[in-house]
């Protein structure tokens, strides 16, 4: 009798541990395609030309198309943006102005593909955007969050309302994935090809994220203390939640991304310990605690921010 | 050795009575072997080792190869224990680099081809192939559940679907065995005569099998008319499970692409050897694909034979030319036509139930 009970309990335990949901990729709740445009945070255009209509985004979202993944390396056609990689649509006045902030170090080939692809992709969306490449020019391990803070600070000072924190190796594969901010901070890359187009865990908040400048300032940006690969996005998620913001996502078919091939970054051994010890709502570590020396260069296709 | 003078006390889990009926301990496996001593003496004095010593060594090794068990160490057959070492070693070696993968898989394939003929001739009752199947399933499943799943790229329903296929395979296999046993418990030759036209005694499993097709060494089970349907079904489940698990694994560790907006397939596996977990998952997926290929051929062969109304034995006696014509040119005494051949297999249990109940 006791034996049978023990056997039954161990079988149940094994089954539970094998099919435990957290061991698997997850389905997630998302904003339905029809509701996306009502959830977008639009801004009154600053210097509106009287004879131009305001751009609308409903049709772009509803008539979204998949991009052929084999074409991402091809040379794309796009209009030459203003110096510093800034673009405003000509046929209407954009009510989205987004700063695309890309932390970067020493991946020239990927940067070329990224710029070529993104200008082509973004110009179809009728948004006012500018690409900021934040270059870490030192010998320390890569600090993605710190670079994003630098970029965000510059973008906010240039009056961008919407920040898009974007990795250089990610390319969006659906034209309906609008590069503007929703009212909620948005995890954009929830259907990544290297993850079998699944979401590994529900609190994932890295890759490509859009957040309103105002919200980013409220949570004091990201932590500057994460050197090396990993956990800075989890810390960011905790800051967002800790400040009462609820992150959201778009449907999987809209959120498809591809990741350009690269070797694995060296992970920060200390990352989980750091994640557990850092407070969720830090007053002193983030956007307001950046040392100042950096150089801004205006390139043809992007604004180059060199942080040393 | 340490319990020689207290024979009455029950054995600990590492003790056993050896072939001379003396109490022995697993840890003493390398002590006190007269035949090895003699053999070494012969070697040093450069005389040839006698046949008696050779077989003495072999039987001592057989006797001392034991695993700890409650109530005394249990003897394991050497040939049956072999796959438990070979398969993990093959997978671990193969995950070093691409050349190791090729080397390790070809070596094992050649070894299998050799030992297949050798064992069938020398030890027809060997459990080697049965243990090979069990070890393969276990190793592949462990790699899938504890290395591939923690990559967090596979959905819960995909894992459950795979489990259902594996469960289907094991269930069919189990029923095959149960049906053969039932049949042999249920009566004498007279009852058997009503069920089948030809009854054969299988020399390997010592059972009476109606319309015997062949004895499957991998499943350690006889295949006859009574369970051929289950056999084909189990092959089908195994095929699906292997293909599905290797697809899930490969799309996790490699770069995937979507074919026709429906199926996810791997396209670039160039960086799998950088990390041990990735390479082990990759080689186990490749091993699954090889198994799937073998099972696919077997499945096609079975489907062909059932359609023709032939048995595997009849097929293997055919000349090569008529094999090329898919056996259509030869005389088939058991053939009842395509439809009847299939219905006699699928409905075997239904048709024979009354007869079985009578018996």
SS3 B25: strand
| Closest-CA distance of chain B to residue A201, Å | 7
* The model's pTM: 0.83
Mean pLDDT of B128-147: 92
pLDDT in tens, A112-143: 889 999 999 998 888 999 999 998 888 888 88
Give me the residue from A24, A261, A264 closest to B152, CB to CB: A24
Q: Say what the pLDDT of residue A281 is.
A: 55
Q: Say what the pLDDT of residue B327 is.
A: 65
pLDDT score of B164 more than 90: yes
pLDDT score of B308 more than 90: no
pLDDT: is B309 or B219 the higher one?
B219
pLDDT: is B332 or B342 the higher one?
B342
CA distances from A143 to A149, A239, A286, B233 (A): 10, 18, 13, 56
Give me the residue from B152, B160, B258 closest to A200, CB to CB: B152
Contacts of B256 in chain A (CB under 8 A): 193-194, 196-197
pLDDT score of B120 more than 90: no
* Residue B3 pLDDT level (bands cut at 50, 70, 90): very low
Q: Say what the pLDDT of residue B5 is.
A: 47
pLDDT in tens, B259-282: 887 788 888 888 888 888 889 999
Q: Say what the pLDDT of residue B4 is.
A: 45
Average per-residue pLDDT for chain A: 85
Q: Say what the pLDDT of residue B174 is.
A: 92
> Hey, are the CB atoms on A195 and B153 less than 8 Å from each other?
yes
Q: Which residue, among B250, B214, B246, has the nearest Cα to B232 in the 3D structure?
A: B214
Give me the residue from B150, B156, B268 closest to A21, CB to CB: B156
Query: Which of the residue ranges A201-205, B28-32, B275-279 would you say has the lowest mean pLDDT?
Result: B28-32
pLDDT score of A161 more than 70: yes
Q: Say what the pLDDT of residue A39 is.
A: 86
Mean pLDDT of B159-176: 93
pLDDT score of B191 more than 80: no
Q: What is the ipTM of this complex?
A: 0.83
> Hey, are the CB atoms on A198 and B274 less than 8 Å from each other?
no
* Residue B197 pLDDT level (bands cut at 50, 70, 90): low
> Hey, are the CB atoms on B257 and A23 less than 8 Å from each other?
no
Mean pLDDT of A86-91: 86
Q: Say what the pLDDT of residue B1 is.
A: 41
Task: Delineate the domains of chain A, giving CATH numbers in brackets.
Answer: 25-307 (3.90.550.10)
Contacts of A68 in chain B (CB under 8 A): none
pLDDT score of B335 more than 60: yes
Q: Say what the pLDDT of residue B189 is.
A: 59
pLDDT score of A254 more than 80: yes
Percent of chain A residues past pLDDT 70, beyond the cut: 94
> Hey, are the CB atoms on B149 and A197 less than 8 Å from each other?
no
Mean pLDDT of B185-203: 66
pLDDT in tens, A205-215: 988 999 999 99
């Amino acid at each position: 009798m006791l034996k049978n009970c023990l056997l039954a309990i161990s079988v149940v335990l094994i089954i539970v541990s094998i099919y435990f949901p957290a061991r698997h990729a997850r389905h997630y709740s998302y904003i339905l395609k029809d509701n996306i445009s009502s959830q977008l945070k639009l801004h009154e255009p600053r210097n509106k030309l009287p004879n131009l209509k305001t751009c609308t985004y409903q049709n772009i979202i509803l008539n979204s198309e998949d991009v052929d993944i084999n074409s991402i390396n091809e040379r794309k056609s796009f209009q030459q943006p203003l110096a510093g990689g800034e673009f405003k649509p000509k046929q209407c006045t954009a009510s989205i102005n987004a700063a695309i902030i890309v932390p970067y170090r020493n991946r020239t080939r990927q940067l070329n593909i990224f710029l070529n692809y993104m200008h082509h992709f973004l110009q179809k969306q009728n948004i006012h955007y500018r690409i900021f490449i934040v270059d870490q020019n030192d010998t320390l391990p890569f600090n993605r969050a710190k670079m994003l803070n630098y970029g965000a600070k510059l973008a906010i000072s240039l009056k961008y309302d919407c920040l898009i924190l974007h990795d250089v190796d990610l390319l969006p594969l659906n034209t309906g994935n609008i590069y503007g901010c929703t009212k909620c901070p948005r995890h954009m890359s929830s259907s990544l090809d290297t993850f079998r187009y699944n979401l590994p865990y529900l609190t994932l908040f890295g890759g490509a994220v859009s957040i309103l400048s105002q919200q980013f300032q409220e949570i004091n940006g990201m932590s500057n203390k994460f050197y090396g690969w990993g956990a800075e996005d989890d810390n960011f998620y905790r800051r967002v939640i800790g400040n009462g913001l609820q992150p959201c996502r778009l449907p999987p078919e809209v959120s498809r991304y591809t990741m350009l091939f690269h070797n694995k970054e060296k992970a920060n051994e200390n990352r989980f310990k750091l994640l557990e010890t850092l407070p969720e709502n830090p007053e002193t570590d983030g956007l307001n605690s950046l040392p100042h020396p950096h150089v801004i260069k205006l390139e043809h296709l992007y604004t180059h921010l060199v942080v040393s | 050795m340490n319990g020689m003078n207290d024979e009455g006390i029950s054995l600990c889990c590492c003790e056993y009575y050896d072939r001379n009926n003396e109490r022995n301990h697993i840890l003493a496996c390398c002590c006190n072997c007269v035949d090895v001593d003699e053999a070494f003496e012969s070697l040093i004095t450069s005389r040839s080792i006698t046949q008696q010593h050779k077989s003495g060594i072999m039987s001592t090794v057989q006797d001392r190869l034991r695993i700890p068990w409650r109530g005394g160490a249990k003897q394991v057959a050497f040939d049956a224990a072999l796959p438990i070492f070979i398969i993990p070693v093959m997978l671990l070696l193969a995950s070093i680099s691409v050349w190791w993968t090729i080397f390790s898989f070809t070596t094992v394939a050649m070894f299998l081809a050799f030992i297949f003929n050798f064992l069938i001739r020398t030890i027809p009752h060997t459990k080697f192939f049965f243990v090979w199947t069990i070890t393969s399933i276990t190793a592949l499943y462990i790699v899938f559940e504890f290395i591939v799943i923690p990559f967090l790229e596979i959905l819960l329903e995909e894992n459950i679907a795979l489990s259902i296929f594996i469960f289907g395979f094991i269930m069919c296999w189990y029923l095959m065995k149960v049906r053969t046993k039932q049949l042999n418990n249920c009566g004498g030759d007279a009852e058997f005569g009503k069920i089948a036209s030809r009854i054969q005694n299988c020399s390997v499993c010592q059972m009476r099998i109606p319309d015997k097709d062949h004895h499957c060494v991998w499943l350690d089970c006889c295949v006859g008319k009574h369970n051929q349907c289950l056999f084909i079904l189990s092959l089908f489940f195994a095929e699906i499970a292997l293909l599905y698990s290797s697809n899930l694994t490969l799309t996790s560790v490699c770069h995937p692409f979507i074919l026709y907006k429906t199926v996810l397939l791997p396209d670039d596996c160039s960086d799998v050897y950088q990390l041990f977990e990735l390479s082990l998952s990759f080689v186990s997926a490749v091993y699954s694909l090889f198994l799937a290929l073998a099972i696919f051929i077997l499945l096609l062969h079975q489907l062909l034979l059932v359609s023709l109304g032939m048995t595997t034995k009849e097929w293997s006696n055919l000349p090569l030319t008529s094999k090329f014509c898919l056996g259509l040119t030869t005389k088939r005494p058991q053939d009842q036509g395509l439809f009847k051949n299939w219905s006699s297999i699928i409905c075997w249990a239904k048709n024979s139930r009354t007869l079985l109940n009578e018996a």
